[in-house]
Chains A and B, each alone.
Chain A
Amino acid sequence: MTESLNIQAQLSNLSQRTKGDKVIWALVIILALVSMLVVYSATGSLAYKMYKGNTEIYLFKQIIFIIIGITVIYFAHLVNYTMWSKVARVLFIISIPLLFYTLFFGVRMNEGSRWIKLPIINMTLQTSDLAKLALFMYLARMLSKKQAVIKNFKEGYLPLIIPVLLVCVLIAPANLSTALLLGSSCMLLFFIGRANMKHILWTVGIAIIPLIFLIVSAITKHNSSDNELQVEKKSSSVLTGRVATWIGRVEGFIYGSKKSNNESAYQVEQAKIAIAKGGLLGAGPGNSTQRNFLPQAYNDFIYPIIIEEYGMIGGAFIVFIYLIFLWRCIRIFKRCPYAFGAFLALGLSFTLVIQAVANMAVSVNLFPVTGVTLPLVSMGGSSFLFTCFSIGIILSVARNVEQLEGKQIN
């Protein structure tokens, strides 16, 4: 008796202590539930491959990730957000050598070194996720500190752009698309943070030069391979190897699926089939057939599976959840009296939603294939936990704002 009472007391205690924006909490729960459903469905063929058809394994893994993720959010949101200002610096300083380490010694997947293996818990960690989070926190801190001198290049802009460039350059060899997305998210943050437009445009202009080079080489490669069969040179170094992959992907996007053996073209094709099969209302939960053909159906390409199973309606629903999430975060920003908290909420929420929109845009073939996940929906992994962590930080800002407002009312 006493024990059950105790639990009930604890539960009511928990709900009381769970503060922050309730809508955001609800959105997180909804997305987690969606991810459970879709991941369970989409991992069918993977389960056959790895665990002889034991499909529940991935469901359990996902549930465990969700539980850990929500725990992370819960504890992160209890922290006074001003603490994050100090944490930001430490995290950022840690993440730079980690990025270096990953670049040279990381686990290779698809030839890019993106991962390091954590020794004790035996989990692969995508260091760029950590670096991203650290960078955004750090930028929020810098933007809030430098508001007075923000228009000044030397004192305002340089301290902001240098960490961004450092992280981007370190991520780019292994994962160009993440670096580009990170860079553009930062530019948007600078714009919001009132940085000098002239400086931003210059940065963008300079960054575009290697991109143009990439596109041009993709076009020339395509034309030359049309004319004659070329023996593909096996590139020896990591960097040149990646460059070839990038060129291939850009080529695939520009020229579509001419080459049937082109892997990303195949992905796009299968994704489109999934979208086309979905129709308005979808085939129903668990009835996807494309999950068997679409590589990464549980990960980068989960959005087409959502559309296939839940239709256009389901696809639109996911989009709106992210937009509402962003809107709620903007509300937090408006209510937050302190610059650091405001920028923290803005920076983390904008980058999260940008990543979501980018993932969906790739899925519907608006952008070339990149390796970004759909935040909170794609199957587990370190990126899921980092997403939860950043949501926890946003909620900690919200909780503090609520506390302040409560005090003012009282």
Chain B
Amino acid sequence: MEVKRDILWRVYLSFIGIVVISFFVLGRVVYIQNFQGNYWKSMSDSLHQRIEEIDARRGTIYSEDKQMLSTSLPTFAIYFDFMADGLREKNGKRFKENIDSFSISLANHFKDKDVITYKKELQQAYKNGDRYYLLKRKLEFQDFKILREFPLAKLGRNKSGMIVEENSKRLMPFGLLANRTIGLSREYLINKRKIKKQNVGLEKSYDSLLTGQKGQRLVRFIAGGVAVPIDGYQIEPENGKDVITTLDVNMQDLASTALMRMMLESESQYGTAIVMETKTGKIKAIANLGRQTDGTYWEDNNYALQVSEPGSTIKLATLLAVLEENKSSINEMVDVGTAGKMTVGPRIVNDAERSPKPILSLKECFAHSSNVGMSKLAYKNFGANPEKFKSYLHQYYLDVKSPIDLSDVAKPQLAPFEKNRGGIMNMITVSFGYAIQVSPLQTLSLYNAIANNGKMMKPYLVNKIEREGIVQKEFNPTTLVENIGSASTIKYAKESMEAVATEGTGKYVFKDMPFAVAGKTGTAHVADGKVKYEDGVYLASFVGYFPANDPQFSCIVVIRSKPHAALHYGGQLAAPVFKEIATKLYATYVDKKKINIVNFKKDSSKYYYAGYTSEIKNVFNTLQMSFVDSSMQMKWCNVFPANYNPVIKNKIMAATYMPNLKGLGLKDALFLLENLGLKVKSNGVGKVVEQSIAAGNNFSKGSVVYLVLG
């Protein structure tokens, strides 16, 4: 028993020791909770919760005929977390088992590196325990879809450590066409976290609409770095609106092609061509080509909006002003001499080209682009009151920014017109196109006003703003000035412009036209910035409208020549481009339009179908027909022709409002509508042509929709 008692006190002592340690443990818990509690709790929140932004999809810019000019495509960046448990567990078993097949798949598909390089790089990153190893950037959806099925990658994030980040890339399917006007939307990092947006063109002027509203959500991080959204703390993003422009892809294409041909031939510095619909002021095409260092051309700047001394094209303003003053008539004879040079008021005026005869009528002065003649008339009418001339220029919108719906429009420059010698000298200089800087677009607007019988329209680029196929805002043609001159003035101006093409500076270019054009050449000797008059750089232009008897389109072509170019006159550089554009537009749009009025035959090339995307693709693929795929992986799509190719375009089928059923077969329409809880009654055979509940409207479940097929 002695032994047992000896043991017993030792046991009790040990027990007490353990009790003491236990109380230390509990004491420590109390300490952590009460003295450090707030510190740890706040640390936990900051570690595990974060507000994340949800990107809104940027809207698409469409042409008038609903072709995508600029759209956002998702791109994917693939990273690897080589410290992922799933990859490392069992001593990296999963990594070792998959590395070979994964490298082979990568090399086979991307073909940018061979299998050994891929394997080596991946192994190195694994060895380094890289937590954010960049494997691929800017993968398109197609590639990403394939990569997702690769060995390793298909195991999912936890096992493979693969991290996918979705970004979006701005894509312009038509490349060069109207590139600068549509604009760019880029984002880049300036410092650390700040992202700066750099937009130009429509992307800039309609940025706020295209951008949409970013959403937000609160996420909580769980093991493995996975973020889980917390319910009830989410603001849905509002996708950007779509912008439907006035641009026409075909017109843009032919304007761009015509301009490009001349640019390459003449090696000019830059050129622009704008096509405007006469009645509305819609810009149908706007091409800008600038010479790159390698001799190619690219839409690098919106030259259509750049201001510069216009040269003789301004003479229309002089002509209009002079006629409006009523001191001169259209047939007034002006002595222009034979020297090509004459003193007018306070300064000497030179003619670019010799006049064909020493005495010209006002109309002939304009047609032959006599600087002497026009300045003499200007001096006669406004020599006593140069400010008056300025008020005419103001009326023609030549001294204010073009009201076009783009941002960064340059402001025109005009020399001062005081009632003194200098002011008068400036006025005379302006009368033939110097000492004033206007943009080609402004000049075009003025000429278009004449084509439109004196009504000046506001030039515009955007037809409407849509959101998920529903029109939010529509822009209608706007009249800037109801009448820029009296009816007779307009009539004389038209006659004078027609004379340019028949007997004047455009005579040779337009001699064999099947329809009449009216316009004006311009050749300005350029001196700006580093370029001096001695460099022999010219701004050649031609602006006018066609057909002269019933104007449909106005067009301006402005080309800035290379130094000491052999061809530098407006009639030589710009007029041929104008001619090509006019001829082609006439053939496709003006002439055809007339025929269509009498021809009511159904045009089988103008089809419009809708249906289930995969089925339609299946049909095309089976028939081995080529098609343009703009379906954006949507379930439903429309099919219509463009450039002789069928285009498959995504069709939006919302669940909350009536979809547009046009072109759908009855089977598809029934499927859609009955899924929406509607009853369908149909009449006729073929595709849907009419629906009783209009697209975009609300409907109540169980109501009846009547469909007319045809």
Contact = CB atoms under 8 A, between A and B. Distances in A.
Interface stretch (A56-64, A85-93, A349-357, A390-398): A349-357
Contacts of B85: 49
Given A275-B32, A278-B33, A316-B26, A326 B223 contact: no
Given A188-B14, A326-B18, A49 B41 contact: no
A141 to B, nearest CB: 16
B7 A312 contact: no
B3 A194 contact: yes
B32 A272 contact: yes
B15 A326 contact: yes
Residue in B11, B36, B86 whose Cβ sees the most chain A Cβ within 10 Å: B11
A50 to B, nearest CB: 9
A192 interface: yes
B539 to A, nearest CB: 63
B205 interface: no
A108 to B, nearest CB: 6
B26 A194 contact: no
A307 interface: yes
A108 B92 CA distance: 11
A315 B32 CA distance: 13
A327 B91 contact: no
Contact of A327 (B15, B32, B221): B15
A192 B85 CA distance: 45
A330 B223 contact: no
A108 B86 CA distance: 16
A366 B22 CA distance: 11
B158 interface: yes
Contacts of B39: 276
Contact of B6 (A49, A194, A277, A354): A194
A280 B29 CA distance: 10
Interface residues of A, number: 48
A360 interface: yes
A384 interface: no
A357 B32 contact: no
A156 to B, nearest CB: 13
A360 B25 contact: yes
B7 A193 contact: yes
A290 B18 contact: no
A45 B3 contact: no
Contacts of A316: 26
A365 interface: yes
Interface in A349-374: 350, 353-354, 357, 360-361, 364-366
A264 B493 CA distance: 89
A323 interface: yes
A334 to B, nearest CB: 7
Nearest to B224: A49
Contact of B222 (A293, A319, A360): A293
B29 A312 contact: yes
A263 to B, nearest CB: 10
Residue in B44, B86, B158 whose Cβ sees the most chain A Cβ within 10 Å: B44
A292 interface: yes
Contacts of A326: 15, 18
Contact of A275 (B7, B33, B86): B33
Contacts of A192: 7, 10-11, 14
A131 to B, nearest CB: 23
The prevalent SS among residues of B at the interface is helix
Given A192-B10, A192-B11, A364 B22 contact: no
A346 B29 CA distance: 28
B589 interface: no
A280 B14 CA distance: 29
B471 interface: no
Contacts of B24: 361, 366
B159 to A, nearest CB: 8
B18 A292 contact: no
Contacts of A381: none
A364 B85 CA distance: 25
B36 A276 contact: yes
A231 to B, nearest CB: 12
Contacts of B37: 276, 279
Interface in B16-67: 18-19, 21-22, 24-26, 28-30, 32-33, 36-41, 43-44, 47-48
A191 B9 CA distance: 11
B31 to A, nearest CB: 9
A49 B86 CA distance: 8
A45 B12 CA distance: 43
A277 B38 CA distance: 9
A322 B22 CA distance: 10
8 contacts: A48-B158, A293-B48, A293-B223, A326-B18, A327-B15, A342-B4, A361-B25, A364-B28
Given A276-B40, A276-B44, 14 more contacts: A45-B223, A194-B10, A273-B43, A276-B32, A276-B38, A276-B39, A277-B40, A290-B44, A293-B223, A295-B223, A319-B22, A327-B15, A346-B11, A353-B18
Interface of A: 45-46, 48-49, 108, 147, 188, 191-194, 269, 272-273, 275-280, 289-290, 292-293, 295, 307, 312, 315-316, 319, 322-323, 326-327, 330, 333-334, 342, 346, 350, 353-354, 357, 360-361, 364-366
Interface of B: 3-4, 6-8, 10-12, 14-15, 18-19, 21-22, 24-26, 28-30, 32-33, 36-41, 43-44, 47-48, 85-86, 91, 158, 220-224
* Minimum-distance CB pairs A-B, first 6: A276-B40, A292-B222, A364-B28, A45-B223, A273-B44, A276-B37
